[in-house]
Structure 1
Amino acid sequence: MKTISAKDFSSLINVSPHLIYKIIKEHNISVVPLGNKNALPPESIRKILELRGFKFKKHNSKPLVINVFGMKGGIGKTSIATALAEGSSRLGFRVLAVDLDMQGNLTQSFNMKKHGQPVLYHVIVGDKNIKDVIIPVTPNLHLLPSSLDNSQIEHVLNSKQSINITNFFDEMFDSIMSDYDLIVIDCPPSIHKITVCASCFATENLIPINADIDSFDGVVMTVSEIEKIERSFKNLSIKINYKIIFNKYDAREKLSLNIMGSISERKNLKDNLLPIVIRTNTAFKNTKADGEYIFDLKKSTAKEDCFSLISELTGLTDWLARGKSNIRDLETTVA
């Protein structure tokens, strides 16, 4: 069972670990042993947050959809998508991770085999129902895997007489929408019909940028394509939201500062740059090589930064800022 320590959770919501233990005792919330301390399973964290009024699903039907997308490869899309999906599931979110890249890197990140599994392609051609291709990673985290079979998707979509691009995934996922609070998509670095469908489906498109010129050019190209898609559907008033996350950031390196400066010179990039960064850290490579996750680590800046990203994108940050009095009310509630 994947858990979060009481210390990490208390740090995330900015209260003392002592207060968390008081809440646990007052509300008879279950814990699991973690070494010589206790940790909180996802359902316990969900209960604590719901007790204070946090809404895991902002709307009754459609979950929050985050599409990790970029026109350049090697920018950390899969690492970020994995951390978002896996970390959010530990916080009590019911998560579906969707691997759209035929290379199946996200599938591999969850230690799932890439061969012999039915994938999205089989749903599109009618061989499988969407529920038939989703596999559980943990009780709170499910995966729609990918394989080389998905390389045929574009040919299938191009052969169809008509396709409702703006509602493609809404219609395909209609029967499972109520099962999840969050859908995280790992998109391939290209513009095809399936990636346009994903961009339109997303509540937020998350574009990683690294500290190099090619990565910056890739972000400029990605944003340009998003704006082009919006213009092509202007009669439908389609708005494609996007945010930029600086990945592998190192304040000691001149290039990181130069790229940050280049972003600030372009209003459309500056206005959509998230106020947090993911700092350079070998933890992403090491945990992947060991078949582990960032949130398995006891202490890491990568874990801290990914927690901050999850909090920002899921609304936890805004909720905490608006409801600090509610958080402080916990002290009087359990005193």
Structure 2
Amino acid sequence: MPSIIAILNHKGGVSKTTTTINLAAALQQKGKKVLVIDLDGQANLTESFGYSIEEPNTIYGAMKGEYPLPLIKTESGITLIPSCLDLAAAESELINEPGREMILKQLIGKLPKENKLDYILIDCPPSLGLLTLNALTAADFLIIPVQAQFLAMRGMAKIMNVISIVQERLNSNLKIGGIVITQYDKRKTLNKSVTEIIHDSFCDKVFKTIIRDNVALAEAPIHGKNIYEYNKNSNGAKDYMALAGEVLKLK
């Protein structure tokens, strides 16, 4: 069975999508077969792979029961389940569905076994609504990207509370894989201070790898590429490769 990792923070702009696409690419570089799921109605992950938000089959239709999960084999070799802007409506449309928190888990369970996936990464929306609950119910591990900025800690208590509830009621196997600090600039005293606070607050839950602020990470999705296709010698490429090494050790 593949290891399923939800990448979540209900604060926007913390590099969730950047982490999803480049961690997937780094795991693939290490010889793993990876599937990514765009569970965000903004469809940034889909566009970062160079695909349109107008794809005929998306996670939205699959969650409504219209067809199985649609698989797109991208040029990079990573498999993508795309999103669309309509996905934002799924929260209200599925609210009366029995077992609505289990929809994604059941869809993943029906993926063709011949795919022989090693990892499934889920890019969650910046909220703690029904879509995010679906991801947490399906996941084995949770990775929380946290920006090295003043407001980074805001809402972390809420995330931890939701995780506890999910573990208790929906998915007892869910573990916190780790918190990853992103957009770090060692020249900024504030970045260093926030990083120390995060380490003091969450100790062994924080990955050793820190994702440095790197212009190549911002430029790559504009070209529909991951960091290894765009600039494999950049700090961003090195950092996500190091993070992949830590993720491979999760148990």
Same fold (TM over 0.5): yes
1:83-98 to 2 correspondence within 5 Å? 83-98=22-37
1:277 has 2:210 as partner: yes
Structure 2 residue aligned with 1:265, among 200, 211, 216? 200
1:107·1:113 contact (CA, 8 Å) conserved in 2?
A: yes
1:308 to 236, 242, 248: 242
Return the match for 1:127 from 66, 69, 75: 66
2:38 matched residue in structure 1: 99
Do residues 291 (structure 1) and 234 (structure 2) align? no
Q: Which structure would you say has the larger Rg?
A: 1
1:164-198 Cα offsets, whole Å, 9 max, x none, are 63x44332112226321110110001111221121
Contact kept in structure 1, 2:125 and 2:131, CA below 8 Å = no
Structure 2 CA distance for partners of 1:120 and 1:292, relative to 1, 3 Å: closer
Residues 290 and 168 from structure 1, CA distance in 2 versus in 1: closer, same or farther, beyond 3 angstroms?
closer
CA RMSD of aligned residues (A): 2.1
Q: Give the equivalent residue in structure 2 for 1:114.
A: 53
Q: Which of 78, 101, 104 is residue 17 of structure 2 equivalent to?
A: 78
- Partner-residue secondary structure (3-state), 1:158: coil
Partner residue of 1:251 out of 186, 199, 208: 186
Q: Which residue identity does 2:122 align to in structure 1?
A: I
Aligned to 1:98, the other structure's residue is in SS state: strand
Mark the runs of 5 or more structure 2 residues left unpaired by the alignment.
none
Residue aligning to 2:124:
187
> Structure 1 residues 213 and 225, CA, compared in 2 at 3 Å: closer, same or farther?
farther
Q: Is the 8 A contact 1:117 1:145 kept in 2?
A: no
For the 8 Å contact 2:38–2:81, the answer to whether it is kept is: yes
Q: Which amino acid aligns with 2:89?
A: Q
Q: CA deviation at 1:139?
A: 7.4
Q: In the TM superposition, what is the alpha-carbon distance from 1:237 to its structure 2 partner? A: 7.1
Decide whether aligned partners of structure 1 residues 200 and 129 sit closer, same or farther in structure 2, where only a CA change above 3 A counts. Answer: closer
Would you say the 8 A contact 1:96–1:141 is kept in 2? yes
Q: Which whole-Å CA distance do the structure 2 matches of 1:246 and 1:81 have between them?
A: 14
The separation in 2 between residues aligned to 1:164 and 1:155, in whole angstroms, is 11
Q: How far apart, CA to CA, are the structure 2 residues paired with 1:153 and 1:119?
A: 12
CA deviations on 1:63-97 (whole Å, 9 max, x unpaired) are 01111100100000001101012232233221111
**Pair 1:207-2:144 in alignment:** yes
Shift of 1:98: 0.2
Aligned to 2:73: 136
Deviation at 1:212, TM superposition (A): 1.3
Percent identical across equivalent pairs? Answer: 27
Looking at structure 1, the residues matched to 129 and 7 of structure 2 have their Cα atoms a distance apart, in angstroms, of 15
Distance 2:55 2:223 in 1: 24
Q: Distance in 1 between matches of 2:212 and 2:55?
A: 37
Aligned-partner residue type, residue 124 of structure 2? C
Aligned to 1:67: 6
Q: Is this contact kept in 1: 2:217–2:227, CA < 8 A?
A: yes
Residue-by-residue CA offset, 1:76-132 (whole Å, 9 max, x unaligned): 0001101012232233221111000011000001001111421122122222122xx
Which of 82, 101, 124 is matched with 1:145 structurally? Answer: 82
- Higher mean Cα deviation, 256-265 or 96-105? 256-265
2:2–2:118: 8 Å Cα contact kept in structure 1?
yes
Post-superposition offset of 1:163: 0.4
Asked if 2 retains the 8 angstrom alpha-carbon contact of 1:71 and 1:221, the reply is no
Q: What is the total number of aligned residue pairs between the two structures? A: 247
